[in-house]
Amino acid sequence: MDQNQIIAIADELAEAERNRSMVPRLTARYPEMTIEDSYAVQNEWRRRGEAAGRRLVGRKIGLTSKVMQEATGITEPDYGAIFDDMVYENGSVIEHGQYTGVRIEVELAFVLNEDLAGPNVNLYDVLRATEYVVPALEILSSRIEMQGRTIVDTISDNAAMGAMVVGGRPVKVDEVDLRWVSALLYRNETIEESGVAAAVLNHPASGVVWLANKLAQHGDSLKAGEIVLAGSFTRPMWVYPGDTVHADYRELGSVTCRFV
């Protein structure tokens, strides 16, 4: 796609974000659109955010588990940007109406104390570069119609990133077996989903490996201090105004938020 088309799509998505609406599926209108085109759209969105004074604080990885791939019909991971104004503290009260198609996912967040630059990053590089791991909820928001979406649509939409809630107990990577970290996800005191972190590519740090190497293909890298949402190990759970969400990570504590 040429730059004019990329800018036009970015304009359309920006308008949808302002209006809390969804645009028709991109792949239905641009069947020739590629994954690289969709990352170009995402990069234009990120560039505009940074130009407006938003601060990049990390990345999210999506579609890393079988349960998420089956839920979306998409078979490979993707990534998106996290700005500082997308991060909520544990116990936050969140305005539901600022997002569209609101769903919640259960994840682990890796906070880095060293830069990670691909290619050829491996699992042990990620573990060495991680200061701590902490429970997190991802709030999904879709600016593109959801029915029939492909990975090209989701990447263009910043991998459906809305926001995240961080809470629980931060742990060093050698304090617990990260593969066996589990969580119970409740909506209004009713358990809706449960999962184990190994569902993310057999080890939650494997998502960060994929991300570091994928970013290298785009001339980018992870920086010390950034937070990486490593991917969901439950299916996305729909939430509505008035819902309270609670995720119990057992020895890692819990994360809670409420939508109004």
User: pLDDT for 73-121, tens place per residue?
Assistant: 677 789 999 999 999 999 999 999 999 999 999 999 999 999 999 999 9
What is the arithmetic mean of pLDDT over 140-163? 94
Identify the weakest region by mean pLDDT among 63-72, 79-88, 154-163, 231-240: 63-72
What pLDDT is recorded for position 64? 83
pTM of the model: 0.94
- Over the chain, what is the mean pLDDT? 95
253: left (phi over 0), alpha (psi -120 to 50) or beta: left
Give the separation between CA 190 and CA 224, rounded to whole angstroms.
Answer: 38
3-state secondary structure of 241: coil
Cβ neighbours of 139 (radius 10 Å):
25
* pLDDT above 90 (res 142): yes
Per-residue pLDDT reduced to its tens digit, 169-210: 999 999 999 999 999 999 999 999 999 999 999 999 999 999
238: closest CA among 142, 152, 165? 142
Give the separation between CA 135 and CA 170, rounded to whole angstroms.
Answer: 7
* pLDDT above 70 (res 29): yes
Structure tokens that stand for 27 in this block:
């792949």
* pLDDT above 70 (res 72): no
What pLDDT is recorded for position 180? 98
Give the separation between CA 166 and CA 11, rounded to whole angstroms.
Answer: 30
3-state secondary structure of 132: strand
